[in-house]
Amino acid sequence: MCGIVGYVGKKNAENTLLEGLKRLEYRGYDSSGIAIVKNGKITSKKAVGKIINLENLLSGKNLDARIGISHTRWATHGKPTEENAHPHLSCDGNLAVVHNGIIENYQTLREELKKKGHKFLSQTDSEVLAHLIEEFYEKKDLKHAVCEALKLVEGTYGITAIANDNSDEIIAARKGSPLVLGIGDNENFIASDVAAILGYTKQVVYLNDGEIARVTKDNFEITDLDDRKIDCEISKIDWTLEESQRGGHDHFMLKEIMEQPRVIVDSTRGRLLPEEGTVRLGGLEDVEAKLRKIERIIIIACGTARYAGLIGEYMMEEYAEISVEVEFASEFRYRKPILDEKTAVLAVSQSGETADTLAAIREAKRKGALTLGIVNVVGSTIARETDAGVYNHAGPEIAVASTKAFTSQLVVLTLMAVLLGRQRKMSEVTGRRIIEEIETLPKKIEKILKSADKIKKLAKKYADYPNFMYLGRKYCFPLAEEGALKLKEISYIHSEGFAAGEMKHGSIALIDENFPVFAIAPKDSVYEKNISNIEEILARKGKIIILTTEGNKEAEKIADDVIYIPKTLEMLTPILGVVPLQLFAYYIASYKGLDVDKPRNLAKSVTVE
Ligand code: M6R
């Protein structure tokens, strides 16, 4: 996820662009840049890090342009460096492009363009767009060149482009990554979302997939890539600036929960090979031979990432038949872990900066183990220091409580289980079955999200209980722990997750009518055993919410309340099951009027040991 802002009008372009970028900083902030056209010449400036660095770089430069495009980057391909920051320029410097999305066939395009003499300066997928547009720019018709270039592109994009000899127009096109036109008075804007332009105009046109716009200061026209005119509707925005950054939601946490269908698509994009019943994980290709030889994996992580790791343990043992252990990163180096060339150490971390996880990875490296990462933040320390790894592509997670990063970690762990399994004994049929089921998950999550109001009502009913117990078995045991963590960290209600079968060995003593239990009991291989544990709670007058599979009417007969999720493979159940748990915790905390996105005593990234 990156942020784009374009401006053409009567104001100082670089100041307007900088203001817009600052409002999109939540979309990513590892580097930023602008390009303007003045006196028939493009000038581009880029800086690594937050937008303040770009602002400092521009201060005193007095570019004083009236047209420009800009970008704040959330790296997906290539490290957060100045070369990889946008805008990207054509070889002759006459065109500049910014891009949000992923160009899936960029390697093929890059090779073809190199053969034609194009020189690439970055490792990004986006740079191919600048060179590809240059190929079609011989008639100096920028819109035509962009259309022809985009016809060759596979993947997703929101792009804006400018050219030195079309110094009054910006071209913007969308497929899969959002773009909105802001209609002003003798000035027009383009942005990834309305937050960037709300300070200037409330009149907007949302571009749809497949549409391209030519925007000048007093006009705009929208067509498809074959130049067929499209009639558009001007909408009026009545959000405040802050509301718009949260996509109209009350909190980033809710926005991030709602983004999960899109996150599953992004974290699997270009990685599924259904026909071969396997996956392609580019970040592991260099160590593929080593991976074939490993017999043991140690997963190290903290908090939510560790619960994802525990679910990964069940997946890899069942489907890849590799022995897996999951360690608290903070404990790893106080033990004497036995590591050999047949052991890989896998760090799971959203931020890629968690001090305990980083220290554990360094220790594993020192002992000569193969180190791997599942990391969301591209170019973060763990991503850089591990031997190989896979990015989640969940986009920036702002709320302290991790939600979409968790689901994307589970998706990547599933993909790794398939990769390792197919290297060993997993059949093509099994691989295909898992991949086909992964492809159905976004729709199934959307269905769960539609029942958010029901979970909201349930949250109101239970908001005043001081304690909660979460129970689950097998794949849903770590999920029970994650559900309890979500509730305690944002609502400050004491909650614990237990293995359902373990409860009778002590914790059941806590249960009475004031101690509700959230039982995660999908219709899977351990359902009957879960029901036995639920009966034990009912016998002690405990209140029960059951999370189970659609169609299971039995649950309604025994539970106080039931939440349903669609059926899926047992290994994938936590990806669906976590969504109601996130919503339940979220609504309880918001009923209590708590600071959901920034709970007390916590930090998003824990960089101290
Ligand atoms: O950035 P990381 O994934 O390494 O962070 C690990 C934990 O600090 C994190 O998951 C934490 O538990 C979250 N606040 C949970 O919502």
The catalytically annotated residue of 2, 147, 302, 476 is: 2
- In this predicted model, which residue has the larger pLDDT, 159 or 30? 159
Question: Which atom of ligand 1 is nearest the CA belonging to 403?
Answer: 16
| Whether 142 and 289 share a structural domain | no
Query: Is residue 78 pLDDT above 80, yes or no?
Result: no
Dist. CA 252 → ligand 1 center (Å): 16
Q: What is the pLDDT of residue 609?
A: 65
Mean pLDDT of the chain: 93
Identify the domain boundary among 424, 449, 474: 449
Dist. CA 169 → ligand 1 center (Å): 44
| Whether 67 and 87 share a structural domain | yes
Annotation marks residue 2 as catalytic:
yes
| Whether 26 and 168 share a structural domain | yes
Q: What is the pLDDT of residue 240?
A: 73
Q: Quick check: is 243 in a domain? A: no
| Whether 159 and 283 share a structural domain | no
Query: Is residue 1 pLDDT above 70, yes or no?
Result: no
CA-wise closest residue to 90 among 51, 63, 125, 127: 127
Residue 454, class by beta-carbon neighbours within 10 Å (0-12 exposed, 13-18 middle, 19+ buried)? middle
Which domain covers residue 343, as residue numbers? 252-449
Contacts of 492-495 spanning 24+ positions with Cβ under 8 A: 492/592, 492/594, 492/599, 492/600, 493/465, 493/466, 493/467, 493/468, 493/588, 494/466, 494/467, 494/468, 495/467, 495/468, 495/469, 495/470
> What's the whole-model pTM score?
0.80
Q: What is the dihedral of CA 575, 580, 584, 586, to 10 degrees?
A: 60
CB atoms inside a 10 Å sphere around CB 274: 15
Tell me the chain's radius of gyration from C-alpha atoms. Answer: 25
Question: Which atom of ligand 1 is nearest the CA belonging to 405?
Answer: 3
Query: Is residue 48 pLDDT above 90, yes or no?
Result: yes
| Whether 215 and 256 share a structural domain | no
469 CB contacts (<8 Å, ≥6 apart)?
Answer: 484, 495, 496, 497, 498, 503, 507, 510, 511, 515, 516, 517, 518
The catalytically annotated residue of 290, 367, 454, 604 is: 604
| Whether 354 and 366 share a structural domain | yes
Indicate which CATH number applies to the domain containing 536. Answer: 3.40.50.10490
| Whether 218 and 287 share a structural domain | no
| Whether 413 and 365 share a structural domain | yes
| Whether 290 and 349 share a structural domain | yes
265-291 pLDDT, tens digit per residue, is 999 999 999 999 999 999 999 999 999
Residues having CB within 6 Å of any atom of ligand 1 = 302-305, 349-351, 354, 357, 400-402, 485, 489, 605-606
Identify the domain boundary among 213, 237, 261: 237
Query: Is residue 174 pLDDT above 80, yes or no?
Result: yes
Q: What is the mean pLDDT of residues 500-525?
A: 92
Integer CA distances (angstroms), 42 to 47, 167, 497, in order: 17, 9, 58
| Whether 131 and 264 share a structural domain | no
Q: Quick check: is 10 in a domain? A: yes
Q: How large a percentage of the chain has pLDDT more than 90?
A: 79
97 CB contacts (<8 Å, ≥6 apart)?
Answer: 69, 86, 87, 88, 89, 126, 129, 130, 133, 159, 160, 161
Indicate which CATH number applies to the domain containing 56. Answer: 3.60.20.10
Annotation marks residue 232 as catalytic:
no
